[in-house]
C-alpha cells in the first residue's frame, strides 16, 4: 500500500481563506478588526521565523498584528508587566508568548498570567481544564489542526483506536482529549511505554508527537492506518553543512504501509498558524459577546 498524502499546507490555506472571509462581518459589527499580540523574547532563529510568519498570516487575514520583540535578558517581571498591559488592552483579542523562553524565565508563570479569554495558544490551565471536562475552551493550535486533518481524511472518528505518542501539555495531552471527545478509544504512549511498537501496531490512528527524529518505523504501523506526524526535527542533510526537516516518523517506511500520512514539512506545521488565526477570531467573537463563527 502507498499512503495518501494529507496536504496540510493546502488545508491550512483553505482555512485561512475562510477566516479572512469572516473578518469583514466582525469589523462591521464591532467597528474594529480582531487583534493578535505576539511576544518574542530573545533571538532564537526558528522562533524569529515563526513570529514573522504569524505576523504575515495575521495581516493577510485582515486582522491587527501587534508584535513585541524583547531582548533575551528581559526580566520575568518585565515580561509579566507586558502581559498585564496586553490583558488590559481592549484592541487585543489574542496573546501569544512564543516558546521556548530564555532559561531564566519561568514559562509556567508567564502562561498563567495570560487572561484565559485571550489565551489563543490554549496553554493556560483554565483552558486545559475546560477542554478536559468538555466545556467551551480555547484549544491548543497544533492538536486542533491535527484533528481537523484527521476529520477531513477519515470523516467520523467514532470507535477508532488512536495511539498518541507523547504526553506534553502542549500536544500529547490535548490531542488525547480532543480524540476522546470524538469518541475514539485513546491510548497515550510515550518514550517509557513498554513494547511501544506493539502498542502502535494496534492503532487505526497514530499521532506521533514525541520529538525524536524518525523514531516511528514502518513495521510499527498497522496496514491502512492514518499517521499524523507532529514532529519537526532538524537533522543533517545529504550535503555537508546542510540540514533538512524530518518528522517523528520514518516517512518512506510508514507511507509504504499507512492508508494516509502527513508529510514533514507541509503536514501539521502549517495548521498551527492557521488555527492560531482561527482561535483569535473565536476569542474576538466571544469577547465581543457574539456567537462563535460557524464552519471553521
Q: Which of 93, 119, 121, 229 is catalytic?
A: 121
User: Cell for 122?
Assistant: 490554549
Per the annotation, does 166 bind a ligand? yes
**What is the rounded radius of gyration, in angstroms, for the C-alpha atoms of the chain?**
19
Q: What DSSP character marks residue 192?
A: T
The reply on whether position 65 binds ligand LMY7XDAE by CB under 6 A is no
Q: Does 232 bind ligand LMY7XDAE (CB under 6 A)?
A: yes
Minimum CB–partner distance for residue 95 and ligand LMY7XDAE (Å): 10
DSSP 165: E
Q: Of 50 and 251, which has the nearer Cβ to ligand LMY7XDAE?
A: 50
Handedness of CA 54, 181, 211, 231 (dihedral sign): negative
Among 5, 265, 287, 290, binds ligand LMY7XDAE (CB under 6 A): 265
In whole angstroms, give the CA distance from residue 246 to residue 249.
8
User: Shortest Cβ contact with ligand LMY7XDAE: which residue?
Assistant: 269
141, 176, 203, 206: which one contacts ligand LMY7XDAE (CB under 6 A)?
A: 141
121 counts as catalytic: yes
* 232 labelled binding-site residue: yes
Applying CB under 6 A, among 70, 78, 99, 188 the residue interacting with ligand LMY7XDAE is 99
Instruction: By CB under 6 A, tell whether 264 contacts ligand LMY7XDAE.
Output: yes
What strands, in cross-sheet order, belong to the sheet with 35-41? 64-70, 35-41, 94-97
Identify whether the C-beta of residue 282 lies closer than 8 Å to the C-beta of residue 275.
no
Cα–Cα nearest to 147, from 283, 3, 11:
11
Contact pick of 50, 95, 173, 216 for ligand LMY7XDAE (by CB under 6 A) = 50
Asked if 212 and 196 count as a contact pair (C-beta separation under 8 A), the reply is no
Give the per-residue contact string, 165-204, with ligand LMY7XDAE (x = CB under 6 A; - = no). ----------------------------------------
Instruction: Check: CB of residue 262 under 8 Å from CB of residue 228.
Output: yes
Crossing angle between the packed helical segments 141-154 and 8-30, to the nearest 10 degrees = 120
Catalytic residue, chosen from 98, 173, 182, 229, is: 98
The answer to the question of residue 146 lying near ligand LMY7XDAE (CB under 6 A) is: no
Coarse DSSP helix, strand, coil percentages of the chain, rounded to the nearest 5 percent: 45, 15, 40
- Choosing from 266, 287, 288, 296, the residue that interacts with ligand LMY7XDAE (CB under 6 A) is 266
Q: Which window, 26-34, 94-102, 144-152, 236-244, contacts ligand LMY7XDAE (CB under 6 A)?
A: 94-102
Whether the Cβ atoms of residue 293 and residue 77 lie closer than 8 Å to each other? no
- Flag whether 167 is marked binding: yes
Q: Which is nearer to ligand LMY7XDAE, 97 or 228 (CB)?
A: 97
Rounded to whole angstroms, the Cα distance separating 59 from 56 reads 5
- Distance in angstroms (rounded) separating the CA atoms of residues 86 and 140: 20
Cell numbers 477542554: residue: 131
Q: Please indicate if the annotation marks 168 as binding a ligand.
A: yes
Which residue is it, cell 469589523? 27
Binding residue numbers for NADP(+): 166-168, 232
Q: Provide the binding-site residues for ligand LMY7XDAE, judged by CB under 6 A.
A: 50, 96-99, 121, 141-142, 232, 245, 264-266, 269-270, 272-273
Which residues contribute to the annotated binding site?
A: 166-168, 232
Q: Which residues are catalytic?
A: 54, 98, 121
Amino acid at each position: 500500500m502507498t499512503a495518501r498524502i494529507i496536504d496540510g499546507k493546502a488545508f491550512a490555506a483553505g482555512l485561512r481563506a475562510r477566516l479572512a472571509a469572516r473578518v469583514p462581518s466582525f469589523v462591521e459589527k464591532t467597528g474594529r478588526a480582531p487583534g493578535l499580540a505576539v511576544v518574542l523574547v530573545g533571538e532564537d532563529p526558528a522562533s524569529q521565523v515563526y513570529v514573522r510568519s504569524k505576523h504575515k498570516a495575521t495581516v493577510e487575514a485582515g486582522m491587527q498584528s501587534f508584535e513585541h520583540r524583547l531582548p533575551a535578558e528581559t526580566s520575568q517581571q518585565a515580561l509579566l508587566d507586558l502581559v498585564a498591559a496586553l490583558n488590559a488592552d481592549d484592541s487585543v483579542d489574542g496573546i501569544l508568548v512564543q516558546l521556548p523562553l530564555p532559561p531564566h524565565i519561568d514559562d509556567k508563570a508567564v502562561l498563567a498570567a495570560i487572561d484565559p479569554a485571550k489565551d489563543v495558544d490554549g496553554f493556560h490551565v483554565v483552558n486545559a481544564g475546560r477542554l478536559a471536562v468538555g466545556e467551551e475552551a480555547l484549544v491548543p493550535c497544533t492538536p486542533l489542526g491535527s484533528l481537523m486533518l484527521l476529520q477531513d481524511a477519515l470523516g467520523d472518528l467514532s470507535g477508532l483506536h488512536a495511539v498518541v505518542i507523547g504526553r506534553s501539555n502542549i500536544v500529547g495531552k490535548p490531542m488525547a482529549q480532543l480524540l476522546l471527545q470524538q469518541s475514539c478509544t485513546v491510548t497515550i504512549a510515550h518514550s517509557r511505554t513498554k513494547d511501544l511498537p506493539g502498542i502502535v501496531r494496534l492503532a487505526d490512528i497514530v499521532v506521533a508527537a514525541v520529538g525524536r527524529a524518525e523514531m516511528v518505523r514502518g513495521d510499527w504501523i498497522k496496514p491502512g492506518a492514518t499517521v499524523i506526524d507532529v514532529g519537526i526535527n532538524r537533522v543533517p542533510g545529504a550535503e555537508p553543512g546542510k540540514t533538512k526537516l524530518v518528522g517523528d516518523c520514518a516517512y518512506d517506511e510508514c507511507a509504504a504501509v499507512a492508508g494516509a500520512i502527513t508529510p514533514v514539512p507541509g503536514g501539521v506545521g502549517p495548521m498551527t498558524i492557521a488555527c492560531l488565526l482561527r482561535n483569535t477570531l473565536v476569542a474576538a467573537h466571544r469577547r465581543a459577546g457574539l456567537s462563535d463563527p460557524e464552519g471553521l
